[in-house]
Amino acid sequence: MTPSRRTVLGAALGAGAGAAATAAGVPSAAAAPAAAWQLRWSPSAREVGTRAFETLEDDRAHSHPAAGRHIVTEGDAFRFTMHTVDRDTSTDRQRQEVTGCRTGDMYLTWHKGQTWRVTYRMFLPSSLLATTTFTHIMQMKQPGAGSAPIVVQSLRRSGARQTIELKVFEQDVLVGRTDLEPLHDRWTDVDFRITIGDDSSGSVRWILGSGGTTVVDATKSGVDTFLADRVRPKWGIYRSLGDTSGSIRDTYMLLTDMRAYQLV
């Protein structure tokens, strides 16, 4: 059938309007909006205290009750205190940690296929030393007992050199590493991003800044960042007592300006 003049004219006008809109920089109706970071969590230590977190692991073995609480607020910061006599339920290690991101009576859940970002400022005193075994100050884990970490931010000693590093744990993939000593006794900005994926579909980015200068900015893609259920962040001091360098001392860590964003 030969199309009518009206059909031909309508098609031509439609094509011309589409071309004009494109030339004018007007996005087509089918264009999806660009993904952007949406703020999901921004607790005030002063206002909500440790209710900012899903759970607390504060001397859970009751090894040092005379010290009182080891995880407290100090002004606008969260303080994690560790004594040499503190013990976890496994007595070859120490743990004072918080988990998750709580808002009121709800907490954030991070699932496979999602991309999340946490930013915060941390103060590491010179008494918080890198060790020859593990000292983790941030972890990404599956909730529940007995599961290995997914990602760890750690203070690791190699000979006389003290470093802070980020690793994808199970695959033992080093994302980035830098010297720890220049970060002692000052505030450091942390920016951590994770795309949660099985096998090789995950990725992480780790940025540290100090005094307005980027100290490390490292990315690793093609890594496994999911175990099961969901991913949950942990912060605090979790360290082995197997250190052979004499670096286990009474110490603490401060965290402030904590934020969590989701890419949507």
pLDDT in tens for each of the 264 residues of the chain?
Answer: 444 433 433 444 344 444 444 444 555 556 778 999 999 999 999 999 999 999 999 999 999 999 999 999 999 999 999 999 999 999 999 999 999 999 999 999 999 999 999 999 999 999 999 999 999 999 999 998 768 999 999 999 988 999 999 999 989 999 999 999 999 999 999 999 999 999 999 999 999 999 999 999 999 999 999 999 999 999 999 999 999 999 999 999 999 999 999 999
Does residue 125 fall inside a structural domain?
yes
Residue-range definition of the domain harbouring residue 220: 35-263
Does residue 131 fall inside a structural domain?
yes
Does residue 8 fall inside a structural domain?
no
Residue 16, helix vs strand vs coil: helix
Q: What is the pLDDT of residue 48?
A: 97
Residues 207-235 have pLDDT tens digits of 999 999 999 999 999 999 999 999 999 99
CATH code of 256's domain: 2.60.120.200
Q: What is the CA radius of gyration of the chain?
A: 24
Does residue 25 fall inside a structural domain?
no
Does residue 27 fall inside a structural domain?
no
Q: How far is CA 61 from CA 89, 91, 96, 127, 181, in A?
A: 5, 9, 11, 24, 31
Q: What is the pLDDT of residue 2?
A: 47
User: Positive or negative, the Cα torsion across 239, 241, 247, 249?
Assistant: positive
Does residue 29 fall inside a structural domain?
no
